[in-house]
Structure 1
Amino acid sequence: MERINQTLAQMMNRKEVRDAYESIRRRTLEHPEVVSFLKAHPELDETAVEVGFTKLSEYAEQMDGKKLIEEQAVIPGHQPMLYVDLGQIAIRYEETVKHRQARRQKEMDRKFKSLFLPEEVREASFESFDWSDDARKIALRESMRFVSGMKTRQKVNGLYLHGSFGVGKTYLLAAIANELKVADIETILVHAPGFVSEAKRKIRTDSFDSFLTSFQHVPVLLIDDIGAEAISPWVRDELFGIILQYRMMHRLPTLYSSNFSGEELETHFSIDGSPQNKMKAQRLMQRISTTTTQIELKGENRRR
C-alpha cells in the first residue's frame, strides 16, 4: 500500500497530471447543479466534500446543467442524482423520463404484433378514420364499443367488417389493435394470405404447434382479408377451424375483415361445392357468425 501511495504521489507531482486534476476539480465544483447541491447541504464540510469528490465529479461529467449527456451516461437512460447519506455525499441513478417513455413504447409495441401487413398500419387511429357516412359511423361506433368492452374486461363479440376493396377495413382493424395496445391488451393482426403461406411453411418444421398455439391463445386476434387466401380442406379445417374452435370455446374475441359477405365467405370455404365441403364450410361460418357482429363498410376505394 505504501508503495502505491508513493507512486500516486509521484504522479501528482507531474505537471500535466496535476493540471488535469485541477481542471476536473474546477469543472466539478463550478458545475451549477453541484453548486446548488452543496448550498442545499451546508452540513457538508470541506472534509466531506473531499471524501465525496469522486461522486461529485461522476455527476458533473454526465450532466449538462440538469440534462443528461446521453453519450457519457454511466448507465444508459439513467440520470445520476446526488444525495446525502449518513453525512456523506452519495450518488444514485434514476431512469430518465425519455428512457421510460421509450421503454414503455417498446412494451406497448410488443402487445401489437402485425404479421404480413405494411408498417403504416401501426399509425392507424380512430381519430383519423373517415366516418363521413352512416355505415362508416356504425363501423367506428362498434369498433369503439368493442375496445371499451375489452378495457373493462367484459365478454364482447368480435367484429366482421366486410365491403369492397380499399374502403378502410384493414385501417379500422389496425386502429382497434392500436387502441388495445395502449390499454396493455395483447393482439395479433394478421393478413390471411400471408398467414396461410407461413402456416404451410411451418407445418414442415417442428415449430408449427407453437405457431398455432400463439393464434389460439392471444387475447384478441384480428384476421385481415379473410377469403383472399388460397383455400383448401387443410386450411379450412386444420388451420382456421382449429384456431376458431378454440377461441370460441374460450370466449376469446376474433375480428375479421373481408371483401366477402358472410354468405360469400361460406361459398369460398365450400371449395368445390360438394355436400361434405358445404357442411364443413357451414360449420366454420357458424363459428364466425355466432361470435361476431357483421358490419358492411361502404365508400370509394381509398387506395387509388
Structure 2
Amino acid sequence: MESLGDLLSQMKSPQLRRRSEELNARMMSEPLVRDLCIRHPELTEEHLLRGMAKLYQYVNDSRHCAACPGLDRCPNDFPGHFTKLTVENNGAGPQLVDRQVTCPKQLRYEMDLSIKKRIHSFYVDDRALQQGYDEVEILSKDGARVPAVSQVFRYINQTKESGLSTRGLYLEGHFGTGKTFLMCYLLHELAKEGYSGVIVYMPEFVEDLKSMLQESQKLKETTEVMKQADLLIFDDIGAENLNPWVRDHVMGSILNYRMNRKPTFYTSNYSLKALEKHLSFTSKDGEEIHKGQRLMDRIAPFVDVVTVSGNNKRGKV
C-alpha cells in the first residue's frame, strides 16, 4: 500500500482527481471500513470523505498488525502502537476520532523493562532473571520439590495479597535442585507487583569485596542498595571464603539494618546449623563461635526454612 504522503504529493498532477477517487473507492471497499459503517449507520459518505486520512491510517496500521513482523521491526508510523478509530458525536453530528493505542507486544516490552529496572543482580547470570516462567512447568519439573515450590508460591501470593512481610525464606538443599531458579521466580513475580529486589551470588561477591577495601564510596553504595531493596537474596551462602571483615562489618551491617524491616532470603547447601558453623570460622582468625552465633541471630529468627529436594539438574537439557 502506498503511503498517504506519496499520494498527496501528486496533488499538482492532472491525475489528482482520478487518483483521489480511486483512493476513496478503495477505502470504501475495505472490509474494516464496511464494518465501521455497519456498526455506525449514522455515518454518511460525506463524513467518511472528511475523515479519509484517518481511515487510511486505520486500515494501513491494521494490515501491518495482522502481519506483525515483531516489535523491533514494527512498520507503523508510531512503532509499538496502532490507530484505533471511534465515532463520536459532539453535537454537530458524527465524527471520526483516531487515537494511537499501545499494542500488546509493546505493553509486554514495557512491563519487562520495568521489571528489569526493579531487580539488581550481583554476579548472578542474567538469563536466570530474564527467562519466561510457567507455574505448571515449575511444579511438574521434579515431583520431589513440589512441597518447596508450593511454599514459595504461597509466600508470593501472601505478599501480593497482604504486602511485604519482615520474614524471608531460607532454601536449603543439594546442588542443582533449583533453589536459585525459585528465588529468581520469586523476584520476578514480586517485581511485577512493584517491589524492588537484589540477588547476590555470595562466592563472587565476597571475593569482589576485597577489591572494594580501597573504594569506600563504591562499598557504601553497594551495601546501601542491599539495605534498601524490598527483597534481598543471598544466593549460595556458605560457599564463600569468608573473612572477619566481610562477616562482621559488611554482612553484619546489612542484616542488622534489614531485620524487623524487610525480608531477606537465602539459598544454601547448608542447614541453618551447618551454616552457623561455617560463619564461625574464617581463614584469618580460625573459629570464633560467638561471632558466628551473632550473625545467625540476624538470620535464623527471620526466615522460614524450605527444604528443596530433587535431582541435580545442572548440565541437563
CA contact (8 A) 2:236 2:269 kept: yes
Aligned equivalent of 1:4: none
- Tell me by how many angstroms 1:46 deviates: 4.2
Paired with 1:10 and 1:64, the residues of 2 have a C-alpha distance of 24
Q: Which of 182, 204, 218 is the aligned partner of 1:194?
A: 204
Secondary structure of the residue that 2:282 maps to in structure 1?
coil
Which ranges of structure 2 fall in alignment gaps of 5 or more residues? Answer: 1-7
Of residues 106, 114, 117 in structure 1, which corresponds to 2:124? 117
Scaled by the length of structure 1, the TM-score of the pair is 0.78
Higher Cα Rg, which structure = 1
The equivalent of 2:224 in structure 1 is 213
**2:4 maps to which residue?**
none
Structure 1 match to 2:5: none
The yes-or-no answer on 1:32 pairing with 2:35 is: no
In structure 1, C-alpha distance between the alignment counterparts of 2:198 and 2:114, rounded to whole Å: 15
State the shift of 1:153 in Å.
2.2
Q: Among residues 255, 261, 274, which one is paired with 2:265 in the alignment?
A: 255
Aligned to 2:111: 104
1:61-81 residue CA offsets vs partner (Å, 9 max, x unmatched): 322298486733232222212
Displacement after TM superposition at 1:42 (Å): 4.1
The aligned residue for residue 14 of structure 1 is 14
> Where do 1:1-304 residues align within 5 Å?
11-15=11-15, 20-64=19-63, 67=66, 71-85=74-88, 86=90, 87=93, 88-118=95-125, 119-120=127-128, 122-123=131-132, 127=136, 128-129=138-139, 132-133=143-144, 136-151=145-160, 152-153=162-163, 155=165, 157-201=167-211, 204=215, 206-250=217-261, 252-269=262-279, 270-272=281-283, 274=285, 277-303=288-314
Partner of 1:62: helix, strand, or coil?
helix
Contact 2:156/2:190 (<8 A) preserved: yes
C-alpha contact 1:62 1:69 (8 A) present in aligned 2: no
Q: Once the two structures are aligned, what percentage of the paired residues are identical?
A: 29
Structure 1 unaligned blocks of 5 or more: 1-7
Q: Aligned partner of 2:201: which letter?
A: H
TM-score, structure 2 as length reference? 0.75
How many pairs are equivalent?
293
The change in CA–CA distance for 1:212 and 1:125 in structure 2 (over 3 A counts) is farther
| CA RMSD across the alignment | 3.5
* C-alpha separation in 1, matches of 2:9 and 2:210: 73
- Can you list the C-alpha shifts for 1:68-116, whole angstroms capped at 9, x where unaligned? 8673323222221223343333312222233333333433444444442
Which amino acid counterpart does residue 166 of structure 1 have in structure 2?
A: G
Contact (CA 8 Å) 1:188, 1:215: kept in 2 or not?
A: yes
- State the SS of the aligned residue for 1:290: helix
Asked if structure 2 preserves the Cα contact closer than 8 Å seen for 1:79 and 1:94, the reply is yes
Alignment CA distance shift 1:302-1:25 (3 Å): same
Local SS of the residue matching 2:156:
helix
Q: Is the 8 A contact 2:143 2:310 kept in 1?
A: no
